[in-house]
Chain A
Amino acid sequence: MENTTENVHFNVATDNDNIIWLHFDKADAGTNVLNTEVFDQLDQHLQKIAAQSPRGLVILSDKANGFIAGADITAFTRIKTSDEALGFLHRGQEVFNRLEALPFPTVALIHGFCLGGGTELSLACRYRVTRDDPGTRMGLPEVKLGIHPGWGGSARMVPLLGGLKAMDLILSGRSIDGRTGKRMGLVDLVVPERHMRAAARKLVLESPTPHQPGLLDRLSNNALVRPLLARVFSQQVAKRAPKNHYPSPYAMIDIWRKHATDKRRMLDAEAQSLANLMTGATAQNLVRVFFLQEQLKSLGKDKTYQPKSVHVIGAGTMGGDIAAWCTFRGFHVTLQDQSPERIAPAVKRAYTLFKRKLKRPIKINEAMDRLMPDHKGIGVERADIIIEAIFEDANVKRSLYKDIEPRMKPDAILATNTSSIPLEELSSALSKPERLVGLHFFNPVAMMQLVEVVTGEATSAEVAARAMTFTRQIDRLPLPVTSTPGFMVNRILMPYLMEAVLLEAEGVPPAVIDKAATDFGMPMGPVQLADTVGLDICLHVAEILAEHFNAEIPQRLKKLVADGNLGRKSGRGFYSYKKGKPVKQKAGDGNWNVDEITNRLIDRLLNESVSCVREHVVESDELLDAGMIFGTGFAPFRGGPMHHIDAVGAEVIYQQLQSLEKLRGKRFTPDPGWEAMTKSSGGKHV
């Protein structure tokens, strides 16, 4: 590379066997990603290498964190037209085609993550070697961003693994480790770090026949079988991603159904389809969600804070699961409750989690050894972080804090999982109120990535920062919020849930209400959500919020709880439950005004969101969107509540609220925050 004004992303070496080692080390970046400049340099290298006629070529990464993470997503956002997209896609295809056509053995030497375009590059090589460790994973996660592979991911994986296995990986977007990859035929050798170079050399020198899929796998690509399988795939995808909201997996299925055995046609179709999808709303919004997630991840990067031990008080559903999760993430955890009997179920659930996540007995046992049941509370004295997750009562919490504070390490943090009690009401019990911070987890802890990091008036900046760093260390997403009733997520959800209760009391079947919400894009309808959380908990939180926000609690909810119908956990709530699943009556023949139902539900949620932003519960629209998506699963393809308002037009929603206010009551009164939003040019919030 003679041009010294450009960034140099690759370096080349030739060994004694005349094998060329092409090292990818993207300049000015901590992670290898693919963009136009990278493709250009790669292309030049490949041409030079081809001319040298080496024994073979090994492509590897010099970045410690992984091979290649995929396409440069920031490049995505700069692409404005589908023609631009097509150009970018064709360029990548061209380079990978050149790689595939090289007349000597080529090996992709993979460690760490290998995703999206990285996998596609490796598929253009003849062989793939992966490192044998849990951190090394391959996948094609494009569907999670509302797109699908466009650089030959499907065109090359389908003939290699067969339709069934390839489509499973592509449609789920899941990543697999080396051993799974080897079993599936994606990976040729899986070896520990110390043997990686030797494995690559072996494949080049011995040049074995590349993997062929087995008979059954090849059959799944058969032209007669594909239409049937395509229908099965569509049905499975539909369970979690309806077509009108998430078009990309269906587009992928279509491409496969039409062209599975013709690599050329598949490549063309991939590029065409993807060029359209990339500029569509869903993909743009899901990419936005990706960036929101990166934004949350960037909070809490203090490398100097290295807590080692966590003490959790309260082994109930939340406390027990928080303890298990922290243990899974490598902390030493002591778990306290009033008696061993109350801790035992949490130990069982922890074991289930470790089995699911860690799989190998050695790792499972290691994790179990890190978790110590501690009914005497010895752990208080050694903990760097104490997480309190006991009964939601300010008096009980205050008396606990008074009891443990004298025994805490001088700079230990006290974090409370309270979901609704403002921190100021709790910190009064501490002699050092600055050490109290809120770490509000969501249920179930292992699945919900969001943690609201609640800063009270007294909370010191250092404690808040440490809380965010700790949240990242346990691989959760920290959302800084102020200590106001309900914080952010519960506060926004509550009016939405209460509206659902009111609708139900008016006679609308729960199934109809829930369908309106899921059709909008919520992962679960509000009625079922309330049942799942527990109606007693909903009522309790509603009461606390009602106190502060002068709201009314529907009688229907109070009655259900008083009658002992607490939702899924008691077998009956709004729905009845069989084996934990709700019994949903068919929507029936009632002529329900679904649009009005949807608006009543969603607009209350949006109204409350505006309120939260205005009151600076959360610092920005982006953070609110991030919190709602990762804390409640709010329709990600819409980009979040504030982004949705933007897309539809603040003026439009404002008017909906006004007319609902006239029709249904003052609970729909638009928050003062709407003024600023509707005043901006064209009714769009900037």
Chain B
Amino acid sequence: MGERQSGWGGRPVFVVDGSRTPYIKARGKPGPFSASDLAVAAGQPLLARQPFAAGDFDEVILGCMMPSEDEANIARVAALRLGCGDRVPAWTVQRNCASGMQSIDSAAQNIASGRSSLVLAGGVEAMSRAPIMYNDTMVHWLAALARARTPMAKLKVLGGLRPGHFKPVIALLRGLTDPIVGLSMGQTAEILAHRFGITREMMDNFAVRSHLRLASAHENGDLDEIEVLYDTRGNIYDHDDGVRPDSSIEKLAKLRPVFDKPVGTVTAGNSAQITDGAAWLILASEESVSRHNLPVLGQLIDSQWAGLDPAQMGLGPDYAMAPIMQRHGLDTPDIDYFEINEAFAAQVLACITAWKDPEFCRNELHRDTPFTPIDEERLNVDGGAVAVGHPVGSSGARIVLHMLKLLQRKNAKRGMASICIGGGQGGAMLIERTTG
């Protein structure tokens, strides 16, 4: 592997504006919105307030892990529904849990190289609508039934039907299980907890803090990137509804381990919630900014994708952040705010433990010295996925957007957003606030 250049090797990449839907917790049945509904609901008010028309985008890129059968190339579906018009091309990207960050990365790449000048990029997921499917035996049985022409033949096939045929395949569960190492995402978190000595108590404390920080952010109006959702039944959704403002250690202690029963430590309470949501960012070249006289929220400086052992995928953020720090000669205090997506409390805690561990840094990150420890007062300050939820395709975009808003609010300079990825990867993005 040769020396990696920083950034996307070209023009600077700016972020102009962004929005997201409230994140809606999945509650055991299909939710009120499809993935494209969510993308459209977040995008409409965003586009309505821009000084340029929806048709002015050079392209639309949307990250999504599981679009429905009616949403082939969901980016195109969303772009057309948003009124971008027939002429704006669109494509959908998938890098598992970081699909929302991949779309931003790809948009940045195209702007930097000069292919595009104004791009709408984001991420969406409607996990509550993940399909329940027929298993293979059933599919074969149905095919046989369709092939049978005579009444006798049909009867014969019907006679072969068994209870086992009806056992459904729950796509969501399968999607959250790594097919190479055969572990659920939660189990990878248990492995990290064991490796880095993260206790149940530490995880629960982290989870409580995430909920309290999110509740406080809602109340203080620190999440103004949220656009209200309206369903067809007269209901509105105006905040991340998985939040528990009254969360406490005592409440969380009651929960049983859900991935490694009966003596595991990772519970539903200290894991990210299964959620539906969408987030968009508008990225622009300098030329677009001046042509349309656009305000600038911030600038994307660099990104990194990294691979690691799928069984410990939760450490992905460290593997992705480190090379960026290295390239730019940065240490922890140079970054004003971090957001590490909270797939699991255990996993984030493992990341910050490893970050300051000399052995880990030497062996895995190839650093002579460990990083300065990450100050937890500067990490996920407005709450994270444990409280907000983790719509898989969307979170990568949410954390980049929120980092930009946070830097603006705090009048700070540099932020790092990173995310672990099922399958053993990590993604990170270095973001800077520009004034004007």
Give residues in A with beta carbon < 8 Å to B. Answer: 332, 334, 340-341, 343-345, 347-348, 351, 365, 368-369, 372-376, 378-379, 382
Kindly supply a per-residue 1/0 record for chain B positions 12-51, scoring 1 wherever the CB is within 8 Å of any chain A CB and 0 otherwise: 0000000000000000000000000000100011001100
**How distant is the Cα of A205 from the Cα of B228 in the complex, in angstroms?**
60
B81 to A, closest residue via Cβ: A369
Contact A334 B232 (CB under 8 A): no
Apart from the given pairs A340-B228, A378-B45, 13 other A-B contacts in the complex at a CB distance below 8 Å: A332-B83, A334-B48, A340-B236, A340-B238, A343-B230, A344-B234, A344-B236, A348-B234, A351-B232, A369-B40, A369-B44, A372-B45, A373-B228
Q: Which of B79-119 contact A (CB under 8 A)?
A: 81, 83
Contact A347 B230 (CB under 8 A): yes
> Given A334, A347, A365, A378, which contacts B234 in the complex, CB threshold below 8 Å?
A347
Q: Which of B207-247 contact A (CB under 8 A)?
A: 228, 230-236, 238
**How distant is the Cα of A583 from the Cα of B238 in the complex, in angstroms?**
41
> Given B49, B228, B232, which contacts A375 in the complex, CB threshold below 8 Å?
B228
Complex contacts, A340 vs chain B, CB 8 Å: 228, 230, 236, 238
Contact B48 A345 (CB under 8 A): no
Q: Which 9 A-B pairs have the closest CB atoms?
A: A348-B234, A351-B232, A340-B228, A347-B230, A340-B236, A344-B236, A345-B234, A344-B234, A378-B48
Contact B40 A373 (CB under 8 A): no
B34 to A, closest residue via Cβ: A365
Complex contacts, B232 vs chain A, CB 8 Å: 347-348, 351, 368
Given contacts A369-B81, A373-B228, A373-B230, contact A344 B235 (CB under 8 A): yes
Supply 19 A–B pairs (Cβ within 8 Å), ascending by A: A332-B83, A334-B48, A340-B236, A340-B238, A341-B236, A343-B230, A343-B236, A344-B230, A345-B234, A348-B233, A365-B81, A368-B232, A369-B81, A372-B44, A372-B48, A373-B228, A374-B45, A374-B48, A375-B228
**How distant is the Cα of A348 from the Cα of B235 in the complex, in angstroms?**
8
Complex contacts, B233 vs chain A, CB 8 Å: 348
**How distant is the Cα of A373 from the Cα of B236 in the complex, in angstroms?**
11
Q: Which of B233-266 contact A (CB under 8 A)?
A: 233-236, 238
**How distant is the Cα of A345 from the Cα of B232 in the complex, in angstroms?**
9
Residue among A345, A368, A369 having the largest count of chain B Cβ atoms under 10 Å: A369
Complex contacts, A343 vs chain B, CB 8 Å: 230, 236
A348 to B, closest residue via Cβ: B234
- Distance in angstroms from A347 CB to nearest chain B CB is 5
- Distance in angstroms from A360 CB to nearest chain B CB is 14
Complex contacts, A374 vs chain B, CB 8 Å: 45, 48
Complex contacts, A365 vs chain B, CB 8 Å: 81
Complex contacts, A345 vs chain B, CB 8 Å: 234
> Given B48, B81, B235, B238, which contacts A382 in the complex, CB threshold below 8 Å?
B48
Complex contacts, B228 vs chain A, CB 8 Å: 340, 373, 375
**How distant is the Cα of A228 from the Cα of B403 in the complex, in angstroms?**
76
Complex contacts, B48 vs chain A, CB 8 Å: 334, 372, 374, 378-379, 382
B48 to A, closest residue via Cβ: A378
A364 to B, closest residue via Cβ: B232
**How distant is the Cα of A372 from the Cα of B238 in the complex, in angstroms?**
15
Complex contacts, A341 vs chain B, CB 8 Å: 236
**How distant is the Cα of A378 from the Cα of B48 in the complex, in angstroms?**
7
Complex contacts, A332 vs chain B, CB 8 Å: 83
**How distant is the Cα of A210 from the Cα of B234 in the complex, in angstroms?**
49
- Distance in angstroms from B98 CB to nearest chain A CB is 29
**How distant is the Cα of A110 from the Cα of B392 in the complex, in angstroms?**
52
Complex contacts, A372 vs chain B, CB 8 Å: 44-45, 48
Complex contacts, B83 vs chain A, CB 8 Å: 332
**How distant is the Cα of A376 from the Cα of B234 in the complex, in angstroms?**
19
Complex contacts, B44 vs chain A, CB 8 Å: 369, 372
**How distant is the Cα of A421 from the Cα of B228 in the complex, in angstroms?**
34
Residue among B45, B81, B235 having the largest count of chain A Cβ atoms under 10 Å: B45
**How distant is the Cα of A376 from the Cα of B44 in the complex, in angstroms?**
13
B80 to A, closest residue via Cβ: A369
**How distant is the Cα of A461 from the Cα of B223 in the complex, in angstroms?**
47
**How distant is the Cα of A224 from the Cα of B232 in the complex, in angstroms?**
49
A347 to B, closest residue via Cβ: B230
- Distance in angstroms from B32 CB to nearest chain A CB is 12
Q: Which of B39-66 contact A (CB under 8 A)?
A: 40, 44-45, 48-49
**How distant is the Cα of A375 from the Cα of B233 in the complex, in angstroms?**
18
Complex contacts, B49 vs chain A, CB 8 Å: 378
- Distance in angstroms from A163 CB to nearest chain B CB is 37
Complex contacts, B230 vs chain A, CB 8 Å: 340, 343-344, 347, 373
**How distant is the Cα of A376 from the Cα of B40 in the complex, in angstroms?**
18
- Distance in angstroms from A681 CB to nearest chain B CB is 61
- Distance in angstroms from B47 CB to nearest chain A CB is 10
Residue among A332, A344, A345 having the largest count of chain B Cβ atoms under 10 Å: A344
- Distance in angstroms from B280 CB to nearest chain A CB is 15
- Distance in angstroms from B329 CB to nearest chain A CB is 43
A379 to B, closest residue via Cβ: B48
**How distant is the Cα of A379 from the Cα of B238 in the complex, in angstroms?**
20
Complex contacts, A334 vs chain B, CB 8 Å: 48
- Distance in angstroms from B82 CB to nearest chain A CB is 8
- Distance in angstroms from A346 CB to nearest chain B CB is 9
**How distant is the Cα of A332 from the Cα of B48 in the complex, in angstroms?**
11
- Distance in angstroms from A9 CB to nearest chain B CB is 41
**How distant is the Cα of A341 from the Cα of B231 in the complex, in angstroms?**
12
Complex contacts, A373 vs chain B, CB 8 Å: 228, 230
- Distance in angstroms from A285 CB to nearest chain B CB is 42
Residue among B44, B228, B230, B232 having the largest count of chain A Cβ atoms under 10 Å: B230
B232 to A, closest residue via Cβ: A351
**How distant is the Cα of A418 from the Cα of B238 in the complex, in angstroms?**
32
A343 to B, closest residue via Cβ: B230
**How distant is the Cα of A374 from the Cα of B227 in the complex, in angstroms?**
10
**How distant is the Cα of A344 from the Cα of B233 in the complex, in angstroms?**
8
**How distant is the Cα of A332 from the Cα of B45 in the complex, in angstroms?**
13
**How distant is the Cα of A347 from the Cα of B41 in the complex, in angstroms?**
13
Complex contacts, B231 vs chain A, CB 8 Å: 347
Complex contacts, A382 vs chain B, CB 8 Å: 48
Kindly supply a per-residue 1/0 record for chain B positions 189-223, scoring 1 wherever the CB is within 8 Å of any chain A CB and 0 otherwise: 00000000000000000000000000000000000
Complex contacts, B45 vs chain A, CB 8 Å: 372, 374, 376, 378
Complex contacts, B40 vs chain A, CB 8 Å: 369
**How distant is the Cα of A369 from the Cα of B39 in the complex, in angstroms?**
12
- Distance in angstroms from B20 CB to nearest chain A CB is 16
Complex contacts, A369 vs chain B, CB 8 Å: 40, 44, 81
**How distant is the Cα of A334 from the Cα of B48 in the complex, in angstroms?**
10
**How distant is the Cα of A378 from the Cα of B50 in the complex, in angstroms?**
10
**How distant is the Cα of A341 from the Cα of B229 in the complex, in angstroms?**
11
A373 to B, closest residue via Cβ: B230
**How distant is the Cα of A345 from the Cα of B231 in the complex, in angstroms?**
10
**How distant is the Cα of A334 from the Cα of B230 in the complex, in angstroms?**
13
**How distant is the Cα of A379 from the Cα of B48 in the complex, in angstroms?**
7
**How distant is the Cα of A281 from the Cα of B235 in the complex, in angstroms?**
52
**How distant is the Cα of A369 from the Cα of B43 in the complex, in angstroms?**
11
**How distant is the Cα of A379 from the Cα of B234 in the complex, in angstroms?**
21
- Distance in angstroms from A467 CB to nearest chain B CB is 25
- Distance in angstroms from A268 CB to nearest chain B CB is 52
A341 to B, closest residue via Cβ: B236
A361 to B, closest residue via Cβ: B70
**How distant is the Cα of A340 from the Cα of B238 in the complex, in angstroms?**
9
**How distant is the Cα of A344 from the Cα of B49 in the complex, in angstroms?**
21
**How distant is the Cα of A6 from the Cα of B238 in the complex, in angstroms?**
70
**How distant is the Cα of A373 from the Cα of B21 in the complex, in angstroms?**
14
- Distance in angstroms from A308 CB to nearest chain B CB is 11
Complex contacts, B238 vs chain A, CB 8 Å: 340
A355 to B, closest residue via Cβ: B232
A335 to B, closest residue via Cβ: B230
**How distant is the Cα of A347 from the Cα of B44 in the complex, in angstroms?**
15
A350 to B, closest residue via Cβ: B232
Complex contacts, A375 vs chain B, CB 8 Å: 228
